[in-house]
């Protein structure tokens, strides 16, 4: 037995060396003199400090840091410092090595990055409650050195690739954070390849059935697609080379997640998603010919295939905020289907795939500072001390995902804003004071209100008045995080002044009623008037919403009011809820680590039914709510309140019915409704709660709310409804 283990260790040693050599090969292009020695030193230190540690899969722990360094070098294109930091990213946290040791061995810069990585590695541990606050800390490190975030992304990507051995609840939590935060972050840093893979891997765990279904469908038609691409590409290839352009033309499959998004957005089945792939034309051009060559290639493609005039996207003339440059067009292919064609140069392609890191490489030749501006914006957002972390996170996410529009100032300067931005956003973008005093704007010399939504290319002049101050409803007008933060802090200041005033009035009123002015009584008053804080109480008094007669009413009811403040979410736990519950109709679902029967309610946002993959969420006032893992709100709940998520699974003992919705579309035909209701009521003996039908010029569109037992029951019903003559589609929808 002993000898076998030795052989095993020997094989592992060989494997570690093999992986280390692969890492050196991946970093070859960036290596300077003496770099190899630094990487070797970091590798030795990591190997030594992790030597007795293993991953959940049983593999030596060192495989993980090597893999993260490999991703940083190969897929993001980072240099030696980052490779060293990636190799050592876990040592300070998991072993006896200190930051001082690292600074002594590798210098200040490396120590600073590893400090940043150590600070944020605790961010998403399982017990961490304030995810949003921690995420904010993580972004603060971005203000110091963006490499911290890039290595963190590499770390997360490797964890996602190797998550099979984790327990299910951890998989769900990590996948939720990934889709909620890391994928948008990769997108904003221009790392499209990594963003797509993170989205796909998250989907694999959060919605495994749909993921497997699309993967299977893609696989079935693989050969057919390859043939179509070959035929489509051949004539382009030929003419491109005739015209003297050096280009690589190929087809690239779309990610599973983006196909699923399209199916959801357009409410269509897989068979109707035409753009399962995009054709790429990557040109090898000298910097000065890039633009001309891209348009040359565009003209070749559109001579061969008819373009859709509404689908031309030109990010070559105006790159996106994350540096993305490309020319996209959609053309009609030989078989009567639309095909997306993306045209760009090798430099643009590297920036598209590797984002930030590639930017530094081309920085000297490029005058584009979109990324610097973006980091500047993040810094501004982070430096706003008032912001509630969750609001901040939502604003930040919104800015991560937004597409840009370009707006001109009266003097012709270009300002970038997210899609959907208003005149008021533009005002705040120019200066906080301009925003705070904005009363309207002139767009292309026409007077418009502050809520006017700007279009790409508008020229905007802001009109201000010294009498204007920010209003509460402005928050519904603006979309940029900067404007929201400034309006919120201005309103807070205003509220504070009103509250000061209200405090004095309340003090006088309480005195006249002989009530002691103390914290306890203020808490009781706030609770009586159902207000969230004493500040709100003061504001209501100042605005005259709470008068002397209301306080007298409080006095008379005080004898009956229990003195209990609103429950804090921190006190919530499954055990806490168990102790309050007497049991009841809760046999159908098992909840918590020990799978107990506890009372729960089903979330209205996703209407789970038995058979759905579900989790429990402990709410502040309504006990445990059950959500589907692919519920629209699931990722946010699991990413921000991981500590309040509990396991839940269906128990097979009871036949209960659950409400769910079906949307049925088809060709309106005599007796169609009759046939549909017959299948539902007679064949399947399912009760209907409501049916709404809309027929428009021969097209039937109906929504039916029905009671089913479980997912299997529902799937069989959908199958049979699709057999009804005239029905073209049946989809489940969330209420």
Q: Give residues with Cβ within 8 angstroms of 413, minimum separation 6.
A: none
- Residue 464 φ/ψ region, left for φ over 0, alpha for ψ in the -120 to 50 degree band, beta for the rest: beta
Q: Give residues with Cβ within 8 angstroms of 480, minimum separation 6.
A: 399, 417, 418, 421, 425, 428, 429
* Pair type for strands 277-283 and 247-253: antiparallel
In this structure, what token pair is assigned to residue 701?
Answer: 């569109």
Catalytic status, residue 155: no
**CA-to-CA distance for 374 and 363, rounded, in angstroms?**
15
Catalytic status, residue 94: yes
CB atoms within 10 A of CB 523: 17
Report DSSP state, residue 60. B
- Residue 330 φ/ψ region, left for φ over 0, alpha for ψ in the -120 to 50 degree band, beta for the rest: beta
Place of tokens 């809820």: 577
Question: Facing residues of 646 across strands?
Answer: 616
Nearest 10 degrees: Cα torsion 26, 27, 28, 32: 180
Do 500 and 475 meet the contact criterion of CB atoms below 8 Å apart?
A: no
Q: Give residues with Cβ within 8 angstroms of 58, minimum separation 6.
A: none
**CA-to-CA distance for 118 and 542, rounded, in angstroms?**
48
DSSP per-residue letters across 648-680: EEE-TT----EEEEEEEEEE--TTHHHHHHHII
* Pair type for strands 699-708 and 658-667: antiparallel
Distances in Å between the alpha carbon of 670 and those of 664, 679, 683, 726, 727? 16, 16, 20, 10, 12
Helices of type H across 207-285: 208-220, 222-242, 256-266
H or E segment at 727? strand 727-733
Q: Indicate the SS3 state at residue 729.
A: strand
Do 145 and 112 meet the contact criterion of CB atoms below 8 Å apart?
A: yes
Do 203 and 336 meet the contact criterion of CB atoms below 8 Å apart?
A: no
Q: How many helices (H) and strands (E) does the chain have?
A: 30, 19
Give the torsion sign (CA, 362, 364, 369, 375). positive
In this structure, what token pair is assigned to residue 25?
Answer: 């090969």
Query: What's the start-to-end Cα distance of the chain, in Å?
Result: 60
Question: Facing residues of 448 across strands?
Answer: 441
Place of tokens 């529009």: 405
Do 463 and 430 meet the contact criterion of CB atoms below 8 Å apart?
A: no
Report DSSP state, residue 732. E
DSSP per-residue letters across 271-328: GG---SEEEEEEE---GGGHHHHHHHHHHHHHHHS-B-GGG-EETTTS--TT----EE
In this structure, what token pair is assigned to residue 382?
Answer: 């982070």
Q: What is the CA radius of gyration of the chain?
A: 30
Give the torsion sign (CA, 207, 210, 214, 220). positive
Q: Which of 8, 10, 48, 93 is catalytic?
A: 93
Q: Which of 74, 94, 701, 734 is catalytic?
A: 94
Q: Give the residue numbers annotated as catalytic, written as ranges.
A: 93-94
């Amino acid at each position: 037995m002993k000898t076998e283990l030795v052989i095993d260790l020997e094989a592992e040693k060989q494997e570690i060396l093999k992986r280390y050599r692969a890492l050196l090969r991946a970093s070859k292009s960036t290596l300077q003199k003496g770099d190899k020695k630094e990487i070797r030193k970091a590798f030795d230190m990591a190997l030594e400090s992790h030597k007795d540690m293993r991953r959940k899969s049983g593999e030596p722990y060192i495989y993980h840091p090597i893999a993260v360094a490999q991703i940083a070098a190969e897929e993001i294109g980072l240099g030696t410092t980052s490779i060293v930091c990636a190799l050592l990213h876990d040592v300070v946290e998991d072993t006896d090595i200190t930051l001082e040791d690292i600074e002594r061995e590798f210098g200040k810069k490396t120590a600073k990055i590893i400090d940043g990585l150590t600070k944020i590695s605790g961010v998403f541990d399982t017990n961490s409650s304030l995810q949003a606050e921690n995420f904010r800390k993580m972004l603060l490190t971005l203000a110091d050195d963006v490499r911290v975030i890039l290595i963190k992304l590499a770390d997360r990507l490797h964890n996602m690739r190797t998550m099979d051995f984790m327990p299910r609840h951890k998989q769900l939590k990590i996948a939720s954070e990934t889709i909620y935060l890391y994928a948008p972050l990769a997108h904003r840093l221009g790392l499209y390849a990594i963003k797509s893979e993170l989205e796909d891997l998250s989907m694999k765990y959060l919605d495994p059935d749909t993921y497997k279904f699309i993967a299977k469908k893609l696989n079935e038609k693989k050969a057919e697609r390859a043939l179509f691409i070959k035929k489509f590409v051949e004539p382009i290839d030929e003419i491109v080379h005739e015209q003297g352009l050096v280009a690589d033309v190929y087809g690239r499959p779309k990610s599973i997640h983006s196909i699923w998004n399209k199916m959801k957005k357009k409410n269509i089945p897989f068979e109707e998603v035409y753009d399962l792939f995009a054709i790429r034309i990557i040109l090898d051009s000298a910097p000065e010919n890039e633009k001309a060559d891209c348009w040359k290639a565009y003209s070749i493609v559109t001579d061969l295939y008819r373009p859709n005039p509404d689908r031309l996207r030109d990010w070559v003339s105006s790159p996106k905020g994350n540096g993305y440059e490309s020319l996209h067009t959609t053309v009609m292919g030989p078989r009567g289907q639309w095909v997306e064609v993306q045209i760009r140069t090798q430099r643009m392609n590297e920036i598209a795939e590797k984002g930030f890191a590639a930017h530094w490489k081309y920085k000297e030749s490029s005058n584009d500072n979109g990324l610097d501006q973006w980091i500047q914006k993040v810094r501004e957002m982070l430096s706003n001390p008032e912001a509630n972390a969750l609001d901040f996170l939502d604003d930040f996410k919104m800015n991560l995902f937004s597409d840009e529009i370009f707006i001109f100032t009266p003097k012709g300067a270009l300002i970038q804003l997210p899609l959907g931005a208003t005149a008021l956003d533009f005002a705040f973008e120019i200066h906080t004071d301009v925003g705070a005093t904005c009363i309207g704007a002139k767009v292309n010399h026409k007077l418009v209100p502050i809520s006017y939504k700007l279009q790409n290319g508008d020229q905007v002049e802001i009109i201000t008045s010294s009498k204007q101050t920010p209003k509460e409803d402005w928050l519904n007008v603006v979309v940029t995080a900067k404007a929201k933060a400034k309006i919120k802090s201005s309103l807070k200041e205003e509220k504070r002044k009103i509250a000061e005033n209200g405090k004095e009035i309340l003090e006088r009123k309480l005195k006249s009623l002989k009530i002691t002015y103390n914290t306890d009584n203020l808490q009781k008053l706030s609770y009586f008037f159902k207000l969230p804080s004493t500040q709100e109480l003061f504001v209501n008094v100042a605005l005259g919403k709470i008068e002397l007669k209301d306080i007298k009413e409080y006095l008379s009811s005080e004898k009956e009011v229990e003195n209990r403040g609103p429950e804090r979410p921190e006190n919530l736990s499954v055990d806490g809820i168990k102790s309050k519950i007497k049991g009841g109709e809760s046999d159908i679902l098992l909840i918590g680590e020990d799978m107990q029967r506890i009372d729960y309610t089903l979330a209205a946002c996703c209407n789970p039914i038995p058979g759905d993959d579900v989790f429990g969420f402990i709410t502040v006032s309504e006990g445990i709510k059950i959500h589907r893992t692919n519920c629209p709100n699931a990722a946010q709940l699991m990413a921000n309140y991981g500590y309040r998520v509990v396991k839940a699974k269906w128990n097979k003992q009871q036949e209960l019915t659950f409400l769910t919705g079906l949307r049925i579309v088809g060709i309106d035909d005599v007796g169609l409704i009759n046939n549909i209701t017959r299948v539902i009521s007679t064949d399947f003996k399912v009760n209907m709660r409501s049916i709404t039908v809309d027929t428009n010029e021969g097209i039937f569109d109906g929504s039916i709310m029905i009671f089913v037992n479980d997912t299997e029951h529902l799937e069989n019903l959908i199958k049979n409804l699709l057999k009804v003559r005239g029905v073209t589609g049946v989809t489940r929808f969330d209420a």
